[in-house]
Amino acid sequence: MPVKKGYFPSRADLGLQSAQQEAFHELAAAATRRNFGNGVFVRAVVEISNFCRENCHYCGMRRDNAELARFRARHEQLAEMILKHCPASVTDINIQAGEDPVAVREIALPLIKTLRRETALGISVCLGTLPARLYDDLQSAGAEIFIMKFECADARQYEWLEAPGTLDERVTHIRLLAEKGWNVSSGFIAGLPGQTVESLLKNFELASALPLEGCSVSPFIPGEKTPLAASPLANADWTFNCVAALRLMRPDWVVPAVSAFNIAARDGYRRGLRAGANLVTINLTPDEWRGDYIIYKRDRFIMTEARVLEAVAAENLAPAATGLSVFYREKKQDGARRTAPRETIPA
C-alpha cells in the first residue's frame, strides 16, 4: 500500500479494517520513525480549572452542568508538586482548563512564571479562545505552545454542537496565535453523532490549511450530563485510521496519543502509538481536583507515569531526550537556515 508525497486520506482509508488496516497503520508508524526516530515526547498535564463559559454538547464541563462541583486550583500547590514530584521522563508541562479567563490570570500566569524561573521544562497551554492581550501575557511569561482544537470542521455541525464561538472565530484565533509566534497544535473529534465520512474528511482539509505544528484525533465519548449522553461511542476504526491518516498527510507533525483511546478500544493507547502517534501525556492533576475535571465521564482513564511508560515500552519505543519546546525551536532554526539567502560572492 504505497503512499505518495502529498497524501490526503480517502473515504476508503478511513474505513479500513483487519489486514488492510494493519498495513495502513504500519506505513504511518514507519513514517513516524523516519521523522522522529524511536523517541516519543513525554509531557505532563495539570488541569487548573473546570469553570467554563462555553456550553459544548460533547463536554461534561459545559456551563449548564449544574451538578458539577467547580474548582480553581492553587498555583502555589501546583508549582510545589511539579518542582518536587515531576517524573524524570517529562520534558514539558501542559496547563489546561475550561474556558476560564479568571484561571488564566490568577493561576496559569503565575504558575508559568514560576516554572520558567525554576525549571527547564517546556510549557504549553490549552486554555481556549482568549483576548489577544492574554495570549501575549502567556507568551511573555514563558509559554511557547498553544493547543486550540477546532473540534469539527463542518460549520453547521459546529454550530449545532455549540462548540466555542463559531468555527470562523476559532480558525481566526488559531491563525492569530501562529502569527504571534506560538507553536500551535489543534485537533478534532472523530465519531460525533451524525458525522459522515465526508464531514470527517473536512477535518483533514481544515487541518492541512492551518499553520499547525501538530494535530490530535479524539474519539467521541458520550459525556455524562450532556445533550449527547445517550449517543453511541465513536467507531474505534475511524479513530485510529484518522491518526494514521494524519501521520501520512503530515509526517513532520506531532500527533498525540490521547487518554480517551483507552475508552474507545482495548489497548487503545498502544494502538494510537502503533498508528503513528508520537506524544504521550502523564496526568499530574492532584486527586482533590482531578475527579471534577470531567471532559467525558467521571470514571476517566487516568494516564499515570507507569501506564504511559509501560505503553511506550510495549511498542518498543522510548521517551524522547528532547522536549517539545526544544524540538520546535530547533525546527524553526533549521527552517530559517534552509530559507536564508546565500552570501554574495565577490566577483
**% of the chain at pLDDT higher than 90:** 90
Query: Is residue 1 over pLDDT 80?
Result: no
β-strand partners of 123 = 93
* Number of residues assigned to the chain: 347
pLDDT confidence of residue 297: 75
Q: Across residues 317-339, what is the average pLDDT?
A: 87
Confidence of residue 347 (pLDDT cuts 50, 70, 90): very low
- Say how far apart CA 161 and CA 148 lie, in whole Å: 17
- Say how far apart CA 273 and CA 154 lie, in whole Å: 27
Confidence of residue 345 (pLDDT cuts 50, 70, 90): very low
Report whether CATH 3.20.20.70 matches the domain 11-338.
Answer: yes
Confidence of residue 343 (pLDDT cuts 50, 70, 90): very low
Q: Select the more confidently predicted residue: 4 or 51.
A: 51
List, as own/partner pairs, every contact residues 307-312 make where C-beta atoms lie below 8 angstroms and the sequence separation is at least 24, other chains included.
307/269, 308/42, 308/269, 308/280, 308/281, 308/282, 309/42, 309/89, 311/257, 311/269, 311/270, 311/273, 311/280, 312/40, 312/42, 312/273, 312/280
44-72 pLDDT per residue, tens: 999 999 999 999 999 999 999 999 999 99
pLDDT confidence of residue 300: 76
Query: Is residue 337 over pLDDT 70?
Result: no
Query: Is residue 86 over pLDDT 60?
Result: yes
Cβ density class 266-294: b for 16+ within 10 Å, e for less: eebbbbbbbbbbbbbbbbbbeeebbebbb
Instruction: Answer yes or no: are the C-beta atoms of 242 and 207 closer than 8 Å.
Output: no
pLDDT confidence of residue 4: 63
Which three-class secondary structure state does DSSP give residue 325? helix
- Provide the mean pLDDT of the chain: 94
pLDDT confidence of residue 338: 57
Confidence of residue 93 (pLDDT cuts 50, 70, 90): very high
Confidence of residue 340 (pLDDT cuts 50, 70, 90): very low
Q: Across residues 167-195, what is the average pLDDT?
A: 98
345 burial (CB, 10 Å; 0-12 / 13-18 / 19+) is exposed
pLDDT confidence of residue 277: 98
Q: Across residues 62-90, what is the average pLDDT?
A: 96
Query: Is residue 190 over pLDDT 50?
Result: yes
Query: Is residue 256 over pLDDT 90?
Result: yes
268-291 pLDDT per residue, tens: 999 999 999 999 999 999 999 998
214-224 pLDDT per residue, tens: 999 999 999 98
Instruction: Answer yes or no: are the C-beta atoms of 148 and 128 closer than 8 Å.
Output: yes
Its pTM stands at 0.94
